[in-house]
Structure 1
Amino acid sequence: MIDRIALIATVVAAVGCGLVAGVLLAFSLSVLPGLASLPVSDAIAAMQRFNAAILNPLFLVLFVGTAVLSTLAAVLSASTSRGAPALVVAGAVLYVLGCFAITGVLNVPLNDALAAVDPGSTAAVEAWQNFTEKWTRCNNIRVVAATAACTVLILGQGRSALG
């Protein structure tokens, strides 16, 4: 029974990691480059709206739920006889530290600082440059971590799913 729950938690966590990676990748590939083509005041105002819009129940369940399921999968996989528990643990660590924690420690404070900026102020240009450089670098780390977590979680349960 624990083997089955571990497998389900791992598979759902892997899907969650992949979905989160996709959302974050879209920001790096299209949203930030698109905003870079706008006047700074418009870019700041748009990003402020994006940051407010992403805080919706569906995304929060996906983002937080993936952290919870990854952790549950890691704990349960340690007590199963199938799969590769070390890979499941590694996948959970990649997501929880490389995506979830970086969001809370780095991206959210940058979002909060940008939320306080008046897009039409004289300080807006400097604030935007500071934001985009740091935020994009952190976001790219989150993309890599969530993608790697997805891959490692799948590999960690590959033997269980196949046999």
Structure 2
Amino acid sequence: MTAGIVFALTFLAALGSGLMAGLFFVFSAFMMTALARLPLGQGMAAMQSINVAILNPAFGAAFFGTAILSVALAVGAAFRWGDAGMAWLLAGSLFYLVGIIAVTMIFNVPLNDALAAGGADTPEGAALWTRYLTEWTAWNHVRTLSGIASLACFIMALR
């Protein structure tokens, strides 16, 4: 990859990481707290609706597009290891791929799937929502911090 292409891909990856960090920050900072304050059925229903609505082209482009950019940048960094900024590129890519993509797929998505199948009108549903609020939010904190770290690394690579 030429320096111009690396710069452009890194810039786009920084934007994508920033978008994802911001989205996850919103949920960590106040959204989950607000949903937890709602009556059980309302909070669960709101989160179920969010989980359906978020699966759209804009989110997909930012989420998976940044993953594709991160893979390309990690490979490029490996081949151009001696060049300035390559360690930052690799670190930013790994923060995104492991801390956002892997955490989402391994932890958050299965919790979302369980929530989608649950109902608030049973004791099991209430227990599910309580567990969901705790576990999903904890893993979302990991995604938030990983997105911020990825963004910071990509910015450092652009210097």
Separation in 2 of the partners of 1:145 and 1:107? 14
Superposed CA deviations along residues 71-118 of structure 1, whole A, max 9, x for unmatched, are: 212222344475310110011000000111100000000000000001
Q: What is residue 30 of structure 1 aligned with on the other side?
A: 30
2:147 aligned partner, one-letter code: A
Structure 2 unmatched ranges of 5 or more: none
The whole-number CA distance in structure 2 between the counterparts of 1:54 and 1:89 is 28
Q: TM-score, normalized by length of structure 1?
A: 0.92
**Within 1, Cα distance between the matches of 2:116 and 2:98?**
25
- Could you report, residue by residue, the CA deviation over 1:19-78 in whole angstroms, capped at 9, with x for unpaired residues? 100011111112111111111111111100000011111101100000111121222234
2:124 is matched with 123
Share of identical aligned residues, percent? 38
Deviates more, 1:4-13 or 1:118-127: 118-127
What are the residue-to-residue correspondences of 1:1-163 with 2, within 5 Å?
Answer: 2-80=2-80, 82-158=83-159
TM-score (norm 2): 0.94
The root-mean-square deviation of aligned C-alpha atoms, in Å, is: 1.3
* d(CA) in 2 for partners of 1:36, 1:84: 42
Letter in 2 for 1:151: A
Distance (Å, rounded) in 2 between the aligned partners of 1:24 and 1:157: 24
Structure 1, unpaired ranges of 5+: 159-163
Number of matched pairs: 158
Distance, in Å, in 2 between the alignment partners of 1:120 and 1:101 is 32
